């Protein structure tokens, strides 16, 4: 299963996430703050799937992971992308909470600028 199913999941997952990224980051969708989080999430998940695909290459005999720097880059990427996936979902949940229960503060707190700062800040922190 790992030999045949994992690359299919990685490739179709990357394609789907990249399509979602371009949809969420289109001109009309970019004006909604939650779409900034969703675009960051799809990009982060694509990078994680790419790192998983690099690890899968080891099974097929491609020893890329053993070259200088590749192992460190793949492990770092997978940890940062896992971190971003969790915290971007938390950010979406917090924004939904603010919109649902504190609607009067939503216009001030849920802006595209704040969402961009949060995504960039989380990426830098990760």
Per-residue buried b or exposed e for 28-53, using 16+ beta carbons within 10 Å of the residue's own CB? eeeeebbbbbbbbbbbbbbbbbbbbb
Residue 49 belongs to domain with CATH number = 1.20.1070.10
Output the pLDDT for position 1: 84
Structural domain that includes position 75:
1-125
Q: Which residues in the chain belong to E strands, given as ranges? A: none
DSSP conformational letter for 69: T
Output the pLDDT for position 14: 97
Which of 93, 16, 79, 12 has the alpha carbon at shortest distance from 48?
79
Output the pLDDT for position 61: 87
Per-residue pLDDT tens over the stretch 64-123: 888 889 999 999 999 999 999 999 999 999 999 999 999 999 999 999 999 999 999 999
Domain count of the fold of the chain: 1
Residue 46 has pLDDT above 90, yes or no: yes
DSSP readout, 17-47?
Answer: HHHHHHHHTSTTGGGSHHHHHHHHHHHHHHH
Q: 23 φ, ψ to 5°? A: -70, -50
């Amino acid at each position: 299963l790992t030999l045949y199913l994992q690359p299919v999941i990685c490739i179709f997952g990357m394609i789907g996430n990249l399509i979602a990224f371009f949809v969420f980051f289109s001109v009309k969708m970019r004006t909604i703050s939650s779409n900034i989080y969703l675009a960051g999430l799809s990009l982060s998940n694509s990078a994680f799937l790419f790192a998983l695909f690099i690890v899968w290459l080891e099974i097929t005999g491609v020893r890329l992971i053993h070259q200088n720097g590749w192992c460190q880059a793949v492990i770092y990427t997978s940890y940062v992308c896992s971190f971003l996936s969790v915290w971007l979902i938390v950010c979406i949940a917090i924004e939904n909470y603010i919109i649902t229960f504190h609607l009067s503060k939503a216009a001030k707190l849920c802006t595209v600028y704040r969402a961009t700062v949060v995504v960039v800040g989380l990426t830098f922190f990760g």
